[in-house]
A and B are shown apart, each in its own frame.
Chain A
């Protein structure tokens, strides 16, 4: 508690609380609205935050179950949302596992070994990760088009291509893990090596078990990045059944076919788990985000 305080401190404190709560209300409004809209009837219904006659129509469609209205008329699900969600999760799981494996081994070398080209490679990674993949989409498309002619599962319109393409974005994760490794004392590994372990064994049996928290953070970050990735997936995937959620979701809001209510249910259904995971892990994620990449 500060020793010196201005007089009107109580008044200011209340004002602060009011301002924060007002701001939060403003910020959360769009999110609450979407939840509310997902329970409204039809796709053009308007009304208050709490729907007068809540319906599960949109939720049933989002879950892929045809909905029977009271008058016997049946609506079919407009898009395979669950398939999209599964595609997204599948791609995200595989690509973040790969990213985690590869960036951990790289980070180990960068943190513990001395070798030619270490500095330039690390700096180069920082520079090149700022170049957005959107700009080289033509080249990325051509690359996978060519690969696909010889390796079927890497071609255009395959999930393999999207997974492999995500391996370009490892730089930040390598920096994050490297920063963590450097904060761990190397003497244990050195002792193991003196006792006859190989470098790999020292890394795998000593350093890795101590780094589980940062590995979890990197995995979650990579997972979220992959789920929300849009440009590459939008160019590489074409079939409706193969789309990821981020590419498919926009189809709800075309001018010609405006499915606002259905979108709301699908958005809540797919967005909520990711949001909860993020909020649950926010303490560690925030540490990784701010402490990792760049050190001042």
Chain B
């Protein structure tokens, strides 16, 4: 039916009035299109202005594709897929690339800022160089905030309204109280405390040219900028005459003695993070240990869940077993309970002192295993819990696949006097393994990255001793990177990103293998 096939380039047919979704007038469509584009452009420019080049560039690409897709007739089919493809681009692929990028920098808790931000930070530093005066904060009827500074013999002065962003180059002017008019009531101290973060950014300049800045919660003080920017880009300390130069290899300003001055800034660090993972013994040894455990964990999980699931599926497959519906519901119960709840339930049940499991073991055998502080026991516990969580999926898969195996194969084997075990090993398994293989790889990949289980159950503990990064004996690579990035006091995002990049390679290989084995047709 060549005429009836709806290909993408089919000319838009005549509208019929009985069907809803009338087409919007052309002008309106173009109006909406330009509005969306204007908003997107605003975002892109705002991001670029803030020095977020990567985000701005990425935003520009997505917006450009969007406006092309929704205008071009040739891209009609792409309109349908654009939102979901854009969703994947923005929230999966871009974060992935960005993470790989971070792996090549020194981005971390101590080097969070860009070079410009770090320079601005230093230039904003001031030192106490004069009198201190009491101040109060006032809000007038229009909601405008002003600072009232009592300079004793020099009279009472009022700052210009605190509006917009505080600018380093333009301090607030000050006027005598008499010229200021009504400035409203003084705010109570608790309001001042609430606003403190913002207030500290403002600098006022008195008519004598003195710079005033917040000093504590009740006073302002005359200050001088600590550093002055020199022509060669170095910073001269006005107080001590020392010179700070930016070292773009380590991402810090350094003084004459080579001492680093915080905060650092983010610089390109090449392969150094990867080199650290592979050569620094204090990172390499926990990394390797965790890698081996991650692989063992994922492989054993697949093995255990498959075994349990397959055995149960074979039992349920037997025609003579009655009450299959009941068994089925009860057996997939662990799958139906939300994972985060069952994991936490197990965390409580395995608790060494109050957990029900230890109470029973104590009553039966007089033992109280320390599930959370002994590495081997902690690992066994994780495997038990994960088998509990994971076998129903395997059971469901196997039940589906077992239906496809012809009955007469088992008839024939029964004639030959085969036991159920023979049936399982010589008929069922060989026939199952081929369709199961891609699903097993997907399960392996899922458990390779089973972050939720580890985080909620053991948080990676018990810890590996003598390491510079937070590493636990039950940590998987994912939870290890999470801890390096978010839990460690150092917040070493770059190192975490480098390890994440290594995991991406492993996962990518598995995904590719999965695709090959499942011979997906599109």
Contact = CB atoms under 8 A, between A and B. Distances in A.
Contacts of A271: 337-338, 341
Nearest to B354: A44
B87 A170 contact: yes
A109 B81 contact: yes
Interface in A13-43: 13, 16-17, 19-20, 23-24, 27-28, 30-31, 33-34, 37
Nearest to A4: B414
Interface string A224-249: 10011011000100000000011001
B400 interface: yes
B84 A106 contact: yes
Which DSSP category, helix, strand, loop or mixed, fits chain A's interface?
helix
Interface string A163-202: 0110111110010000000000001011101111111111
Interface in B402-441: 407, 410-411, 414-415, 420, 434-435, 438-439
Interface in A30-63: 30-31, 33-34, 37, 44, 46
Interface in B29-84: 42-43, 46-47, 50, 52, 55, 75-78, 80-81, 83-84
Given A27-B331, A31-B345, A294-B438, A193 B91 contact: no
Interface in B1-48: 1, 3-8, 10, 12-16, 19-21, 42-43, 46-47
Contact of B15 (A12, A134, A198, A250): A198
A296 interface: yes
Given A4-B411, A126-B515, A142 B98 contact: yes
Interface of B: 1, 3-8, 10, 12-16, 19-21, 42-43, 46-47, 50, 52, 55, 75-78, 80-81, 83-85, 87-88, 90-96, 98-99, 102, 312, 315-316, 318-321, 327, 329-342, 344-349, 351, 354, 356, 359, 388, 393, 396-397, 400, 407, 410-411, 414-415, 420, 434-435, 438-439, 442, 445, 449, 451-452, 455-456, 478, 481-482, 485-486, 493, 496-497, 500, 503-504, 507-508, 510-512, 514-515, 518-522
B98 A198 contact: no
A76 interface: no
A211 interface: no
B456 to A, nearest CB: 6
Which DSSP category, helix, strand, loop or mixed, fits chain B's interface?
helix
Nearest to B356: A33
Given A135-B96, A194-B4, A296-B434, 14 more contacts: A12-B420, A30-B349, A109-B80, A118-B522, A122-B522, A123-B515, A167-B91, A171-B88, A205-B20, A224-B338, A250-B456, A275-B337, A294-B514, A295-B518
Interface centre among A134, A252, A253, A294 (most CB of B within 10 A): A134
B338 A227 contact: yes
A74 interface: no
A263 B445 contact: no
A1 interface: yes
Nearest to B58: A143
B330 A27 contact: yes
B99 A193 contact: no
Given A130-B510, A139-B102, A294 B520 contact: yes
A166 to B, nearest CB: 8
Contacts of A190: 1, 4-6
A218 to B, nearest CB: 13
A174 B88 CA distance: 12
Nearest to A192: B19
Nearest to B98: A139
A132 B336 contact: no
Contacts of A252: 344
B6 A131 contact: no
Interface string A127-142: 1111111111111101
A128 B92 contact: yes
B478 A134 contact: yes
A198 B508 CA distance: 40
A131 to B, nearest CB: 6
Given A27-B334, A260-B348, A271-B341, A296 B438 contact: yes
Nearest to A277: B336
